[in-house]
Amino acid sequence: MGSAGPVTIFVDETTRVVYQGLTGSQGRFYGLRNRAYGTLVVAGTNPKKAGSDVEGVPVYATVGEAVAATGATASCIFVPAPAVMAAVLEAAEGGVELVVVITEGVPTHDQALLRSRLARHFPEVRLLGPNCPGVISPGRCNIGITAGEIAMGGGPVGIVSRSGTLTYQALHELTRAGIGQTTCVGIGGDPVPGTTFVDCLAAFEADPDTTAVLLIGEIGGSAEEEAAEFVADGMTTPVVAYVAGQTAPPGRRMGHAGAIVSGNRGTAQAKIGALKQAGVAVGGNPSEAAALVASLVAGR
């Protein structure tokens, strides 16, 4: 994938990925697609198919065996929802630093328990997801289901989003405008994500190559308000935002398990207000948000 370039967050061209679920149809499709992009997909796991391979990618019984044999540093999980908790804990115990869970439908109780167990026993392990598109550092590493063709490297914009589809639109809009991205992180829209807006904003703030951030939120929960507090508390990298679900009726879940408005809590209007008060420029739609980022980058 070439020589090392600018700093990225979470992944780069040295990241070595094991796919838990590589022998399944979705794991195989995206694992091989990520490998074709240039990602170092070094192993898969399946205790029933250990010793086999998927188009040259060796399959091991456990993540620990894969790490020992290949030096894998990250895991991407494509297993059914009931098996996700065990898979994440296996990955953490196996020695990887990053676990990306693509699977949707993971029970909220499992999500909360996982985040608690990782914080207590494996604080060095970052969990991304569940129910997320993954993370891409354009031209260097792509873990998950994002189409690498719509991304463009070279910076200077970092993207963090709760919505998979809007992540893709943001990438496409910026690429079409000729604006490269440092890293794009889909944190997922479930109620208890392993990695939050604040985690990503802090990482982008520490990245000297990210000079602007596009944050894509949606109704439900308080993640956007927490992001606004972080920005207001002294983040120096400028942030542009878009909040989806502005016409969603109270009590109706929109798309994601975490996207539900309860009374006056979690509304798009409340989130937009908090972000604007923190000095964040907020677009009325994804295209407008991308245009705001373009203007911001052009003016720096």
Residues classed as catalytic: 256
Dihedrals phi, psi of 75, to nearest 5 degrees: -130, 145
**Amino acid letter, residue 166:** L
Q: How far is CA 100 from the centre of its chain?
A: 8
Tokens 């972000």 found at = 275
The number of residues making up the chain comes to: 300
Q: Which two tokens stand for residue 70?
A: 């290949």
Task: Report the candidate in 30, 34, 33, 29 with the shortest Cα–Cα distance to residue 11.
Answer: 34
> What is the rounded distance in angstroms from the CA atom of residue 114 to the CA atom of residue 28?
25
Task: Report the candidate in 197, 196, 36, 46 with the shortest Cα–Cα distance to residue 111.
Answer: 196
> What is the rounded distance in angstroms from the CA atom of residue 283 to the CA atom of residue 41?
37
Tokens 């798309």 found at = 255
